[in-house]
Chain A
Amino acid sequence: MYTTGITRWLLIILLMALSSTGLHAQQCVGGQVLDGSSGYPLPGASIAVNPGQGVIAGRNGQFNLCGLQGDSVSISFSYIGYKTVRITFRVGSSNILVTMQPETSEIETFVVTATRTDSRIVNTPVRINQLGPKLITSLPVQSIDEVLKVATGINYSRPFGILSTKATVTMRGMSGKEQGRVLILVDGIPMNKSDGGGFDWNMLDAAMVRRIEVTKGAGSAIYGGNAMGGIINIITRKPEAPLFVNAGLEYGTYNTIGGKFVAGGNFKIKKPGDQWTWMANTFYRQSDGYVTQSEADVKSNPYIVNSDLRETGAGFRTAYSIGGKHTIGASLNYYNDNRGTGEKVHQPRGNTTDHDSYGVNLNYRGQLGKYSILSAAYFLNEDYRKVNEYLKDDYTWYDVLSTRRDYGWLTSITRPLGDQHKVTGGFDFRNGSVDAWDKYYTSTDIVYNAGKMNTLSFFLQDEIGLLQEKVRILAGLRYDVAGFHDGSFYIETPSQETEFMDIYQDKAMPTHIRSALSPRISAHYRWNSSNRVYLGYSRGFRPAVLDDMCRSGRIKGGFKIASPDLKPEYLSNFEAGTDFKPFRSGILRLLTMEASAYYSLGTDFQYYVTNGQTIDMGFGERPIFIRANISEVEIYGAEFSANYEIVPSVTMFAGYAYASAKILDYTKIAENDTIDLFGKTMTDVPANIVTAGVSWQNRILNAGLTFRYTGAMFINDQNTWDELVQSDQYPAYSTVDLKFWRPVFRYCHVSLGIQNLFDVKIYDSKYNVGPGRFITAGFEVKF
């Protein structure tokens, strides 16, 4: 009985406790608020039943809203940049996952480039342009860099379309001749080669790209070298289904035939939170091409033939996620091309360029307590071969062979400090090298050049949020120290072909160490979800490239000698801008506008200048040039863009950019140098760029139409008359691109792309001509 009594009392107490808990639970709703596209938590989201009755989501997006009455409750979730949603829940529900969708369908709400962390775009006080999958789909692009030509203020060059051996994408007054002043990242891995600063845009398959982030202005405070004019981060696709396969064929102008294949998937492992993903792709393309040379060249050279193309690539990437907190990934990419450059005398394919490239990347991304860790090791190798043959007095045939290697280890660690700070620190180690030789077959010469550059960097950054995130400050500082070593330039068994270079041989170039300190401070004030003003200062630098430091050889208009003492060039950038939404409601509610203005001062800019001497390379005296830090430049400009998503299926955009880039000071290195570059405008920088486009997706036929106007650009450093172009500037030109596409049957898509609809002829400095109108028809199967 006694036992029975105690048991009864215990049962009563337990029931009362349970009843009490139950009563309490019934008055609350709890869960987590997540970003619908990325799955990231949304700390700071507002959760409210009525005005004045609500809570703010915690650091991990979690919330618990209590004091509710009744069986169900309608709760409103709102957050800057997201569509407000109201959902009805049963009171007492817990562990609810609420996903919020961005206000516009195109914009990713999290970006990684500006801060090297997963940061909300609205919280990042810099100018960022995003080119998302919807836009990419609507463009008739042959190469992924062509997507960027519709972005506001992008200075874009791909003179021969798919046949181009190189393309350049720059911004903010940086010359379109060189890629080295804008940093290119692929999934955060720096791709600019130490040898020339460039990036082989051809090696990326557009089908593998999910989106592109363009961060304007100097970004060396977090990324170091090359991030002078801005940063372009290409984010590749991730597997979003357990298994998918895309396969496509295309056919186009100049008998261009291509095929691509992408497959991937993800597998849930039995252990909760574990997942294995993989993705693989391959592509092939060939084109008969066309004659790129001028009519005068064709008349005077019977060996001119079509420039043509053969290229193939493949890639594989995989990642294993452990418990949702740690992800280890690896990727392997391979690319090979062979591009005929339009002259053939005796060699089977004539003059060609050939890239044999591969890259390996291992990365780790994890969460250890409050610390988020990103670490990646990469190795990039490019074996480049350029066959040169021509017949003038006699036959000349030589190969340029170059092995360019870049590898490195990048690590950053982020942790929040209190509610207002997110601190990121880290280090990068990079090594770049070139081992190159010109191997002559019509003489005995072999001309070698080699060099290496090691760079070690440390950085620290704080992302500060104040006044309930209305004020955001981004402050950072990075220190890079680089050592140049093993530089050499020498000739083996010289003949008359290269004996003029004899005195410039140097088998042991002096080693040296250079350093750069790159600060950034920028802030914005956002007074509501769509409007902000921002202000910033940042410094960027571009390291000297190995090709300038180690190699002597012919260049257009003369001969250049190696410049092993070359220093980095620097750019200090001041910037202000605003984002605004002129209409809060109505049909123009989703019209957004952005405006920025910048003023940059460059010091130690690298230019080719004459050393006052001349050299006879076999056709008379020519000036000797050397790359030197000789000038100060002043660059300023403004950008304005507007995006209007009428409905999710119809999007319009327009942009205008003005840039002025002038040389403020010119320090001659030779007394007899008669050139004065003071006040001259930098070459290959259009003063005006206009872009516009519209995309309409519907059940019958999807369509994308884009327009680009590229203003006139000076041709040479001295802004003088050019005999070939018959002007001192390349003329301005406009192009219109058009694409139609639609699904057919259950698994298929067809598309028709027309680039340069009105067949505008665009010429380069040698008066070589671009491809004109280029039409591509595509067929794709997706499972």
Chain B
Amino acid sequence: MNRFNCINNSVLQGPGRTLWLFLFFIFVVGLNSCRKEEEINRTAIILKTGVAYTSSGEIVSPGGKINIGVLASGAGTALTYLRIERIIGQDTSVQLDRGIYAGNEGYDEDFSFPKGLAESEIWRVLVMNADRDTATASLLVRKGEGVDYGPIHHYGPIEVGMQNNASTTCFLDLANGAIYDAVTVSGNESAIDLVPYFYYTSGLPSPSLTCPGYTSTVGYYPIISNWTVKNTTLFDYYTSDNQLVTPSQFDAALNDSLLVTAYNPSKVSGNCKYAYAGRVIPFKTCQGKYGMIKVIQADENEEGSILLEIKIQQ
């Protein structure tokens, strides 16, 4: 035996010490096994009323706006989920499906959607808290006479630079068709809805459209990390990938009818890959404006640019 080995049988012998050691381990095991019973807090929701909001039973013409204001509370537990559905007879379509995180301050946000062609629509809002307790509120909207499709702005062609383009500006305000560079964007951050970038994904070159609110955008535009307002624009990548709207349909759009109907809310993302020339990408801005982008030309490198034509609700 090594002479430095510290085993000293005489020091700790005896059943008393053994019992203490045994009890200590039982204590450690027991301590780690304790669990608290779960409590569930109840979720509450109300839809805002007033002239700015659509009231239940109100008549709205097709294409007209349905304005829904949501006030919700998780009653001590964070609200984590919001869903807005349009129900026509037995058919339910999800218009908004969003993960949120609203703590004790509760949730307060307004939304607008276009009225469809159905005689009546039920708009149901569901919120859920982290205890997975849900609450819903609904309103009924009836179809009005005629149509109420609105006017649109048409901008373009607009050249927007990719992330490493030193000469072309990169920050685009879709509502006004205005474009800013890293200097002039100061003070206009809250107006920016789109920034482009280029990268390879799944082995394919991908000119991409994204928005300040999409988390990984700061990797391409670090300046955005300091912005206090980061708008999230949702691009309908499904319609783009499958080329469901043709450039000629885009060209023919004179009001927002196509803009609101082409947008499929179930297949949207703040990042739209494969924005190749000839593709038409429906989108919805953070302010609730529907629009479409036609890609005229897209470079496949980080120093290049992308040429866009835009139609958006006024």
Contacts and interface: CB of A to CB of B under 8 A. Distances in A.
Interface of A: 241-245, 263, 265, 278, 280-282, 296-297, 299-303, 312, 314-316, 332, 334, 336, 345-346, 390-397, 439-444, 495-497, 557, 616, 618-621, 720, 723, 743, 746-749, 781-783
24 contacts: A244-B7, A297-B219, A299-B218, A299-B222, A301-B215, A301-B216, A301-B219, A302-B215, A312-B28, A316-B25, A393-B213, A393-B268, A394-B98, A395-B100, A442-B80, A442-B99, A442-B101, A444-B134, A495-B83, A618-B267, A620-B241, A723-B203, A743-B6, A781-B6
A241 B10 CA distance: 11
B244 interface: no
Contacts of A749: 4, 6
B40 to A, nearest CB: 13
B23 to A, nearest CB: 10
B6 A782 contact: yes
A278 B18 contact: yes
B22 A394 contact: no
Interface stretch (B139-147, B232-240, B253-261): B232-240
Contacts of A397: 80, 99, 101, 130
Contacts of A618: 267, 269
Contacts of A282: 25, 28
B21 A263 contact: yes
A394 B271 CA distance: 12
Contacts of A616: 238, 267
B266 A496 contact: yes
B271 A332 contact: no
A393 B214 contact: yes
Nearest to A720: B203
Which 9 pairs between the two chains have the least Cβ-Cβ distance? A300-B219, A442-B99, A743-B4, A782-B6, A747-B6, A300-B216, A393-B270, A395-B99, A496-B97
A480 B217 CA distance: 54
B104 interface: no
Contacts of A316: 22, 25-26, 29
B252 interface: no
Interface string B105-135: 0000000000000000000001010101010
A4 B252 CA distance: 144
A390 B99 CA distance: 10
Contacts of A391: 215
Contacts of B9: 241-243
Given A334-B29, A395-B80, A495 B6 contact: no
B90 interface: no
B8 A747 contact: yes
B12 interface: yes
A500 to B, nearest CB: 10
Nearest to B26: A316
A610 to B, nearest CB: 13
B6 A280 contact: no
B222 to A, nearest CB: 7
A742 B150 CA distance: 84
Contacts of B8: 747, 783
Given A393-B214, A442-B101, A743-B4, 19 more contacts: A242-B9, A242-B13, A245-B12, A297-B219, A302-B215, A314-B29, A316-B29, A345-B101, A392-B214, A393-B268, A394-B99, A397-B101, A440-B81, A443-B97, A443-B99, A444-B126, A616-B238, A747-B6, A747-B8
Secondary structure of the B contact surface, majority rule: mixed
A619 B214 CA distance: 13
Nearest to A298: B219
Given A444-B128, A782-B5, A393 B269 contact: yes
A782 to B, nearest CB: 3
A282 B26 CA distance: 10
A392 B241 contact: no
Nearest to B4: A743
B225 interface: yes
Interface string B268-279: 111101100000
A557 to B, nearest CB: 8
Contacts of A496: 94, 97, 266
Contact of B216 (A334, A392, A495, A720): A392
Contacts of B18: 243, 265, 278
A752 B203 CA distance: 46
B248 interface: no
Contacts of B219: 296-297, 299-301
Interface of B: 2, 4-9, 11-14, 17-18, 21-22, 24-26, 28-29, 32-33, 78, 80-81, 83, 94, 97-101, 126, 128, 130, 132, 134, 200-203, 213-220, 222, 225, 232, 234, 237-238, 241, 266-271, 273-274
Contact of B32 (A245, A314, A443, A620): A314
A618 B236 CA distance: 11
Nearest to B35: A356
Contact of B99 (A396, A439, A620): A396
Contacts of A440: 81
Contacts of B234: 393
B32 A312 contact: yes
Nearest to B100: A395
Given A316-B22, A394-B98, A723-B203, A243 B81 contact: no
A749 B7 CA distance: 12
Contact of B215 (A312, A392, A781): A392
A390 B216 CA distance: 11
Given A300-B215, A393-B213, A496-B266, A278 B22 contact: yes
B7 A392 contact: no
Contacts of A280: 21-22, 24-25
Nearest to B238: A616
A435 B269 CA distance: 33
A131 B188 CA distance: 66
A439 to B, nearest CB: 8
Given A299-B222, A334-B29, A496-B266, A394 B215 contact: no
Contacts of B202: 557
B2 to A, nearest CB: 8
A720 to B, nearest CB: 8
A301 B216 CA distance: 5
Nearest to B11: A783
Nearest to A439: B132
Given A303-B215, A393-B270, A496-B266, A444 B32 contact: no
B146 to A, nearest CB: 33
B6 A392 contact: no
A709 to B, nearest CB: 31
A300 B195 CA distance: 14
Contacts of A747: 6, 8
A336 to B, nearest CB: 6
A768 to B, nearest CB: 16
A345 B100 CA distance: 11
B225 A783 contact: no
B81 A444 contact: yes
A81 to B, nearest CB: 23
B203 to A, nearest CB: 7
B85 to A, nearest CB: 10
Contact of B271 (A299, A392, A748): A392
B7 A782 contact: yes
A392 B269 CA distance: 9
Contacts of B216: 300-301, 392
Contact of B132 (A244, A278, A302, A441): A441
A440 B97 CA distance: 13
A258 to B, nearest CB: 15
Nearest to B131: A441
Contacts of A346: 78, 101
A472 to B, nearest CB: 34
Nearest to A558: B202
Contacts of A297: 219
A496 B215 CA distance: 20
A394 B100 CA distance: 7
A439 B128 CA distance: 13
